[in-house]
């Protein structure tokens, strides 16, 4: 786990753990299946840009983000692309840059 400062979009964090807590609070504070507004939309775009498969996740572009229930009933970020397709993404992979 990273212990040095981390910047994602306009947000700066002293540690990776601080970034994780911020993202978890964001995920848990959003109503389900409702597009996430600014400034969180821009933050999530910057977060996805860090994903190891960022171009595959974003596709032709990101229309909006939502929080939805995943297979096991946990809350998960989803992005809807401009072409209407949708996928989930792991914020852990975005933070760690791992597949």
Kindly state whether residue 84 falls inside one of the protein's structural domains: yes
Q: What is residue 81's predicted lDDT score, i.e. its pLDDT?
A: 98
Quick: pLDDT tens for 17-68.
Answer: 999 999 999 999 999 999 999 999 999 999 999 999 999 999 999 999 999 9
Q: What is residue 1's predicted lDDT score, i.e. its pLDDT?
A: 55
* Domain extent at residue 33: 6-96
User: Full-prediction pTM beyond 0.75?
Assistant: yes
Kindly state whether residue 87 falls inside one of the protein's structural domains: yes
Kindly state whether residue 64 falls inside one of the protein's structural domains: yes
**CATH code: domain of residue 70:** 3.10.450.40
Range list of β-strands (E), the chain: 6-8, 11-13, 62-69, 75-81, 86-88
Kindly state whether residue 1 falls inside one of the protein's structural domains: no
Residue 99 has pLDDT above 90, yes or no: no
Total of domains in the chain: 1
d(CA 32, CA 35): 9
Kindly state whether residue 70 falls inside one of the protein's structural domains: yes
Residue 96 pLDDT class (50, 70, 90 cuts): confident
């Amino acid at each position: 786990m990273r212990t040095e400062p981390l910047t994602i979009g306009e947000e700066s964090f002293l540690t990776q753990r601080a970034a994780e807590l911020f993202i978890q609070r964001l995920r848990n504070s959003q109503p389900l299946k409702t597009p996430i507004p600014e400034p969180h939309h821009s933050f999530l775009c910057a977060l996805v840009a860090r994903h190891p498969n960022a171009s595959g996740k974003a596709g032709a572009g990101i229309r909006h983000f939502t929080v939805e229930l995943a297979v096991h009933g946990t809350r998960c970020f989803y992005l809807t692309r401009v072409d209407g397709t949708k996928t989930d993404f792991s914020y852990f992979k975005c933070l760690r840059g791992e597949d």
